Structure 1
Amino acid sequence: MSILYLRCFMVNIYDIARLSGVSKSTVSRVIANQPYVSEEKRNKVNKVIEELNYKPNSLARQFRKKQTNCIGILVPDLDHPYFSQLVGMLSLRCHEKGFKPVVYQTFFNRELEKEVYAKLQNREMDGLILTSTLLTEEELSTYVENHFVAACNEDFEGKYFSVFCLNEEKAIFDATMYLLNKGVTTLGFCSDNLHTPSQQARLRGFISAHEQKGINYNESLVFKQIATIEDGIQLGQSLFEGPVRIEGIITGSDFVAAGMLKSSAEKHIRVPTNFSIIGFDDHPISLVSTPPLTTICNQMQEMGNDLIDCITKMIKDQQAIYTKKVYEGKLILRQST
Structure 2
Amino acid sequence: MVTIYDIARLSGVSKSTVSRVVSNHPYVSTETRNKVLKVMQEYNYVPNSLAKQFRQKQTKCIAILIPNLDHPYFSQLVRYISAACYKKGFKTVIHQTFSNKYTERDVYTQLQRNEFDAIILASFSLPEEAIARYTENNIIVACNEDYSGDYFDVFCLDEEEVTMKATSYLLNKGLSKLAFCSDNITSPLQQARLKGFILAHTKKGLHHTKDFVFNKISNIEDGIILGERIFKDRLEIEGIIAGSDFVAAGLISSAVKNHIEIPKQLSIIGFDNHPISLVTNPQISTICNHIQDMSNDLVNHIVNKINGIKKSPIKKVYNGEIINRNSS
TM-score, reference length from structure 1:
0.80
Q: 2:242, 2:269 within 8 Å by CA — same for their partners in 1?
A: yes
Structure 2 match to 1:101: 92
SS in 2 for 1:325: strand
CA distance in 2: counterparts of 1:295 and 1:106, whole angstroms: 28
Cα deviation for residue 139 of structure 1 reads 2.1
Cα deviation for residue 317 of structure 1 reads 1.7
Q: 1:146, 1:160 within 8 Å by CA — same for their partners in 2?
A: no
Equivalent position to 1:289, from 280, 294, 307 = 280
Aligned-partner residue type, residue 87 of structure 2: E
CA distance in 2: counterparts of 1:171 and 1:301, whole angstroms: 17
CA separation of 1:318/1:144 partners in 2, compared to 1, >3 Å: closer, same or farther? farther
Gaps of 5+ in 1: 1-56
SS in 1 for 2:254: helix
CA distance in 1: counterparts of 2:130 and 2:113, whole angstroms: 18
CA distance in 2: counterparts of 1:109 and 1:159, whole angstroms: 24
Cα deviation for residue 216 of structure 1 reads 1.2
Aligned-partner residue type, residue 296 of structure 2: N
2:190 maps to 1:177:
no
Aligned-partner residue type, residue 194 of structure 2: L
Aligned-partner residue type, residue 111 of structure 2: L
Aligned-partner residue type, residue 201 of structure 2: H
CA distance in 2: counterparts of 1:150 and 1:137, whole angstroms: 11
TM-score, reference length from structure 2:
0.82
Matches within 5 A, 1:112-131: 112-131=103-122
CA distance in 1: counterparts of 2:125 and 2:185, whole angstroms: 10
Structure 1 match to 2:213: 222
Structure 1 match to 2:32: none
Aligned-partner residue type, residue 71 of structure 1: I
SS in 2 for 1:293: coil
Equivalent position to 1:138, from 123, 129, 139 = 129
CA distance in 2: counterparts of 1:87 and 1:207, whole angstroms: 30
Gaps of 5+ in 2: 1-47
2:191 maps to 1:200:
yes
Aligned-partner residue type, residue 172 of structure 1: T
Q: 2:97, 2:103 within 8 Å by CA — same for their partners in 1?
A: yes
Cα deviation for residue 242 of structure 1 reads 0.7
CA distance in 1: counterparts of 2:206 and 2:50, whole angstroms: 65
CA distance in 2: counterparts of 1:176 and 1:215, whole angstroms: 12
Cα deviation for residue 61 of structure 1 reads 7.3
Structure 1 match to 2:292: 301
Equivalent position to 1:79, from 57, 65, 70 = 70
CA separation of 1:61/1:181 partners in 2, compared to 1, >3 Å: closer, same or farther? same
2:144 maps to 1:156:
no
> What is the identity percentage for the equivalent residue pairs of Structure 1 and Structure 2?
54
Equivalent position to 1:165, from 139, 156, 166 = 156
Considering only aligned residues, what root-mean-square deviation do their CA atoms show, in Å? 1.7
CA distance in 2: counterparts of 1:60 and 1:259, whole angstroms: 50
Structure 1 match to 2:260: 269
Cα deviation for residue 141 of structure 1 reads 1.7
User: For each residue in 1:183-220, what CA deviation from the matched residue of structure 2 results, as whole angstroms up to 9, or x when unmatched?
Assistant: 11101100001111001100000111111111111111
2:304 maps to 1:317:
no
Structure 1 match to 2:12: none
Q: 1:144, 1:161 within 8 Å by CA — same for their partners in 2?
A: no
SS in 2 for 1:111: helix
Q: 2:167, 2:200 within 8 Å by CA — same for their partners in 1?
A: yes
Q: 2:109, 2:135 within 8 Å by CA — same for their partners in 1?
A: no
SS in 2 for 1:237: helix
Q: 1:146, 1:320 within 8 Å by CA — same for their partners in 2?
A: no
